[in-house]
Amino acid sequence: MTPEQAYAELIRRSREQKVLSSCVDLLEWDEQVCMPRGGSENRAEQSALLAGITHDQATDPRYGELLSLLEQSPLVADPESAAAINVRELRHDYDRERRIPRRLVEEWARVSTLASQHWGAARERSEFKPFAKWLDRLFALAREEADAVGYPETRYDALLDDYEGGLTTRRLNELFSQLQPALVPLVDQLHGRPAPAPAHVLAREFPLDRQRLFLEGVATALGFDFERGRLDVARHPFCTSIGPGDIRIAIRYHARNFSNGLFALLHEVGHALYDQGLDSDHFGTPLGESVSLGVHESQSRLWENQVGRSDGFWRHFYPQLQGTFHEALHDVPVETFRRVINHAAPGPIRVQADEVTYDLHIIIRAELEQALLSGDLRAADLPGAWSDAYRRYLGIAPKNDREGCLQDGHWAEGLIGYFPTYTLGNMYAAQLFSAADRDIGSLDERFAIGDFASLRDWLGARVYRQGSRYSAAETIERAAGGALDPLALIESLSRRYELSS
C-alpha cells in the first residue's frame, strides 16, 4: 500500500465517521426542536446505539495502522501540508477515542439524554433535589472518562482538552486569576449605576411573528444563508451542523422580552457563520472543521456583542426595528434604545447577563465544576454553593433553583469542562475585533451602511477557512497578531461601558 492509498483510505474513513456523527447531531437537534415528549426513551436508545457505532468506527485499529504508516511517510514531511495537518489531528482524536471504552460512550449517550429530560422537568418545577442524583451520575461518568483518557495533573485537564485542545487546568486558572480581579472593580462600578429610565421598553409587546421576521432579516443581512440552514425555536438556544449545507440555529423569543431573542439570534448566527464558512472541500477532515469550542465561541460572542451592541449596527437596523415594532418603540430614540440594551447590572441568569458581568458567571461555573469533579462538592450541596458564589462574585443571590443552578442544561447534556470556552471566546473575540477594526478601518462606519461582509470576509480568511490547521491558541495569535491577553477584554469592556479599569 502506497502512502497515497493509505491517505485516501484515511480520508474516506474520516469523512464516513463525520457523516455518521452528523446523524447523532440530527437526533440531538430533533430532540431539542421537534421530538414529542413520548419519544424520549426511544431517543435515548437511538443516541446510545449510534454513539456506540461511531465510537467503534473511530477506534477501528485500521485507523492506527494507516496513521502509523503515514507518520513514517514523506507525505507528511511538510508540517504545513494538508496531509500532515490531517494526520496530526486524526492521531490526536484516535488516541483519545481508543482510551474510552464503548460501554462508557453508550452510557454517556443514554444518561445525558435522560438527564436532559429530567433537567427540563426539574427546571420547570424549579426543584433541584430530584435532579441531584442525575448530576451525581454525570460527574461520575466524567471522572471515569478522565481516568480512561489520562491527564497531566488533574482530571479536569482531560475534560478541558476535549473542548479546547491543549488547554490545561493550570493555564486556565492562571488566565481566570488575571481576569477575575480585573472584572470585580468594573462590576462594583455597575452597582452604583442607576438603570436607564425607560428600561421597561424591552418589556413592552413585541409580537412573536414580527420578531421572527425581523430576526430572519438580521440573520440574512449578517450573511446567514437560509438555503443552507434554518432557524427554529428551542428551550435552550443552540447552533448545530448537520452537514456542510445544513447549519441549524435554534433560539427562544418572548413577546415581552425582546432582547432575549435578539441576542440569542446574534450569538447563534456567529456560530453559524463560522460553520457555513468552513472549507466544504475539506468537509469531514480536520482541515474543514472548526479548531476548538473556544474559537467557536469567540465567533458567537463577537457577533453578539462587538457587532450587535455597536453604534453602527443600530444606526443601520434601528429604523427598520422601529417600523416593525411601532407600538413598542415609537417614543424611543435610537440612543435610548442602545442605552437600554447596553445596560449592565449584575443578575442571576447567565444567558441574560450583560457583557461586563458575563465572565463572572463562567468563572463561578468553572470553579463549581472543578469542585464537583474532584468530589470537594457533593451534588446535593450545589444549590448552596451556587448561591454563595453568586453572593461573593456578583453581590446577588438567586431567588430559587430555576434562576440558580438549574438555569443551564450543559451538565445534563454531559458538557463538563465546556463552560470555560465561553470566557475564552470573549477574550479571543475582543482581540480579534480590535485587530479587524485596525486592518479594515472603522468597522462601525461599515456596519452603519449595512456592510457586514467586510468583517465576515476578514474572519473567513483568518479563522473560518483555516479549519484546524493551527492550534486554537495559534489560530487566534496569527489572526489577531499577538498572544492571548485577558486584559484586552478588560480594555474593550472599559471603553465601551465607560468604566475605569
Residues involved in catalysis? 268
Taking residue 431's Cβ as centre, other Cβ atoms within 10 Å add up to 24
Which residues lie closer than 8 Å to 240 by C-beta, 6 or more apart?
A: 25, 28, 29, 247, 248
| Least gap, CB of 217 to a second copy (angstroms) | 17
Q: At what angle do helices 169-191 and 486-497 cross, to 10 degrees?
A: 20
| Least gap, CB of 43 to a second copy (angstroms) | 7
Window 29-68: contact mask with a second copy (x via CB under 8 A): -x---xxxxxxxxxx-xx--xx--x---------------
Q: Which is nearer to a second copy, 54 or 292 (CB)?
A: 54
- Dist CA 264 CA 238 (whole Å): 9
By CB under 8 A, name the one of 10, 27, 75, 321 that touches a second copy.
Answer: 27
| Least gap, CB of 24 to a second copy (angstroms) | 9
- Dist CA 41 CA 383 (whole Å): 28
- Dist CA 33 CA 235 (whole Å): 8
Q: Which is nearer to a second copy, 137 or 230 (CB)?
A: 230
Span from 22-30, 112-120, 136-144, 176-184 in contact with a second copy (CB under 8 A): 22-30
Q: Which is nearer to a second copy, 104 or 242 (CB)?
A: 242
Residue 358, CB half-sphere, CA atoms under 13 Å: how many? Answer: 23
List alpha helices for 192-310, DSSP H: 208-222, 258-277, 293-301
The amino acid at 36: P
- For cell 489577531, what's the residue? 480
By CB under 8 A, name the one of 129, 226, 256, 483 that touches a second copy.
Answer: 226
By CB under 8 A, name the one of 3, 9, 23, 101 that touches a second copy.
Answer: 23
Q: Could you tell me which residues are beta bridge partners of residue 243?
A: 246
Which residues lie closer than 8 Å to 423 by C-beta, 6 or more apart?
A: 176, 179, 358, 359, 362, 363, 366
Q: At what angle do helices 355-374 and 155-163 cross, to 10 degrees?
A: 140
Residue 139 · residue 91 · CB < 8 Å: no
Residue from 58, 23, 26, 32 nearest 113 by CA: 32
Q: Which is nearer to a second copy, 80 or 227 (CB)?
A: 227
By CB under 8 A, name the one of 2, 8, 16, 126 that touches a second copy.
Answer: 16
| Least gap, CB of 39 to a second copy (angstroms) | 3
- Dist CA 106 CA 199 (whole Å): 48
Looking at residues 311 to 340 of the shown chain, list those that interact with a second copy (rule: CB under 8 A). Answer: none
Looking at residues 264 to 283 of the shown chain, list those that interact with a second copy (rule: CB under 8 A). Answer: 283
Q: Which is nearer to a second copy, 67 or 249 (CB)?
A: 249
Q: What is the largest CA-CA distance in the chain?
A: 74
By CB under 8 A, name the one of 3, 9, 26, 454 that touches a second copy.
Answer: 26
- For cell 478522565, what's the residue? 146
Residue from 499, 340, 479 nearest 489 by CA: 499
Q: Which is nearer to a second copy, 110 or 309 (CB)?
A: 110
The residue ranges of DSSP E strands in 419-465, in sequence order, are: none
Q: Could you tell me which residues are beta bridge partners of residue 230?
A: 248
Span from 92-100, 139-147, 225-233, 432-440 in contact with a second copy (CB under 8 A): 225-233
| Least gap, CB of 42 to a second copy (angstroms) | 3
By CB under 8 A, name the one of 2, 4, 8, 19 that touches a second copy.
Answer: 19
Q: Which is nearer to a second copy, 16 or 174 (CB)?
A: 16
| Least gap, CB of 243 to a second copy (angstroms) | 3
Span from 28-36, 297-305, 365-373, 402-410 in contact with a second copy (CB under 8 A): 28-36
| DSSP one-letter string for 319-335 | HHHHHHTHHHHTT--HH
Q: Which is nearer to a second copy, 36 or 181 (CB)?
A: 36
Supply the DSSP symbol for 406: T
Residue from 219, 189, 163, 180 nearest 472 by CA: 163
- Dist CA 254 CA 52 (whole Å): 38
Interface with a second copy (CB under 8 A), residue total: 35
| Least gap, CB of 48 to a second copy (angstroms) | 9
Q: Which is nearer to a second copy, 12 or 399 (CB)?
A: 12
| Least gap, CB of 379 to a second copy (angstroms) | 29
| Least gap, CB of 286 to a second copy (angstroms) | 18
Looking at residues 228 to 267 of the shown chain, list those that interact with a second copy (rule: CB under 8 A). Answer: 228-230, 242-246
**Which residues in this chain contact a second copy in the complex, by CB under 8 A?**
16, 19-20, 22-23, 26-27, 30, 34-43, 45-46, 49-50, 53, 225-230, 242-246, 283
